[in-house]
Amino acid sequence: MGPDDPGSGMSYRDAGVDIDAKLTAIDRVKERARSTLGSQAGPIGHFGGTYLVPSGPDQILVASADGVGTKLRLAFVLGGEAHAGVGRDIVNHCVNDILALGAKPLFFLDYFATGKLDPDVVAAVVGGVADACLDNSLALLGGETAEMPDSYPPGEYDLAGFVVGTVLPDRIVDGSRIRRGDVVIGFPSTGLHTNGYSLARKIIGLTGEASPDGSILATALADGTSLGDALMAGHRTYRPEVQPLLDAGIVRGMAHITGGGLKDNLPRTLPPEAIARLDPAAWVTPPIFEYLVERGRVSLDERYRAFNMGIGFVVVVREADRDTVLDRLPEARQIGEIVDRVTSDESAVQGLSC
């Protein structure tokens, strides 16, 4: 048999990459993706996705890349709806990131990588991505679905997202207008969102093995919710709440509370001379965090860095605008205030340690 004998040799499929299966999986999600395309997005299937930006004044594109982290590992254990959930999570995570600079999202692309492509899982994940794109009025412009034999164990995958949005230069919110006396307003999270899952998994003993015993996820928390449901609660988008505040021009700084918690994320919007003095008693810590910090005996210092502890997004406004925000958004809480920095070695976020 020579090398040109079509029946005798190695094929890409034998090597674990089934291009036809990939095309079938992509076809299944293409319709969902198409439903997100507004009038500015071009057709899907070219080498790149296209998005028309009409002529107009200067604008700033704002872009962010992110992943879901090891929340994925709980989705592998739970299966079913959890796959669509992490698809929605990555979109909302990315949207909140650029929202924190005042940007309106335009389009999104996903990266899905797995060892052996399961069309049902791809359809569930990308279906969740498409749903969240629709919710946030952004176009799912494309993405990459990679089948990588030997790189992911059976049933596992990684998921990343990329978003691009736009903001007018005089509307960008970078925290530079924050002054002493401004108030720090927090919006509740629905749970861990997409951060702190490696610590949470360690606390509940779901680490190591590829397919751990997930029975602990049925544990009831103080409010009756199961641990599994509480951990898989979706990363919410804050756009519906925050956009009206942006339109009103009253926002001086914003922070999306992701990896690093309030401690690492709030400083990203604070000018060097400002300190945020927070009062954790100002908001109710959800039962899932109480459960995790108690079971894991997580120190005060650690918990506000590993977890969002119930605050998913922060807005800083003038004191005079506080009631405008709180009256309009009953779930928002004033969680602190801005004070002057006295010495250069002070922590930029205070009130969260012993």
The residues with which 161 forms a beta bridge, in sequence order, are: 66, 110
Indicate the residue type of 202. K
Comparison of 205 and 249: residue with beta carbon closer to a second copy: 205
Q: In angstroms, what is the minimal distance from the CB of 165 to a second copy? A: 7
- Residue 78, token pair as written in the block: 């739970």
CA angle centred on 40, ends 35 and 41, rounded to 5°: 55
Q: In angstroms, what is the minimal distance from the CB of 174 to a second copy? A: 7
Q: In angstroms, what is the minimal distance from the CB of 331 to a second copy? A: 22
Q: Which of 163, 97, 90 is nearest to 128 (CA)?
A: 90
Q: In angstroms, what is the minimal distance from the CB of 330 to a second copy? A: 26
Q: Are 147 and 114 in contact (CB under 8 A)?
A: yes
Indicate the residue type of 287. P
Comparison of 72 and 338: residue with beta carbon closer to a second copy: 72
In angstroms, the CA 47 to CA 36 distance is: 19
Q: Are 115 and 150 in contact (CB under 8 A)?
A: yes
Indicate the residue type of 238. Y
User: For the chain, how many residues are written?
Assistant: 354
Comparison of 53 and 220: residue with beta carbon closer to a second copy: 53
Q: In angstroms, what is the minimal distance from the CB of 316 to a second copy? A: 14
Comparison of 109 and 185: residue with beta carbon closer to a second copy: 109
Comparison of 4 and 345: residue with beta carbon closer to a second copy: 4
Comparison of 166 and 324: residue with beta carbon closer to a second copy: 166
- Residue 191, token pair as written in the block: 């749970």
In angstroms, the CA 103 to CA 92 distance is: 13
Comparison of 146 and 329: residue with beta carbon closer to a second copy: 146
Q: In angstroms, what is the minimal distance from the CB of 181 to a second copy? A: 24
Q: In angstroms, what is the minimal distance from the CB of 13 to a second copy? A: 9
Strand pairing of 349-350 and 274-278? Answer: parallel
Strand pairing of 311-317 and 349-350? Answer: unpaired
Task: Kindly give, in sequence order, each residue whose CB lies less than 8 Å from that of residue 154, ignoring residues fewer than 6 positions away.
Answer: 115, 116, 210
**DSSP summary character for residue 74:** H
Q: In angstroms, what is the minimal distance from the CB of 352 to a second copy? A: 12
Q: State phi, psi for 108 to the nearest 5 degrees.
A: -140, 145
The contacts found for 6-13 with CB under 8 angstroms, 24 or more apart, are: none
CB neighbours of residue 116 within 10 Å = 17
CA distances from 44 to 26, 138, 144, 220, 325 (A): 11, 15, 12, 44, 40
Q: In angstroms, what is the minimal distance from the CB of 221 to a second copy? A: 16
Comparison of 115 and 322: residue with beta carbon closer to a second copy: 115
Comparison of 78 and 326: residue with beta carbon closer to a second copy: 78
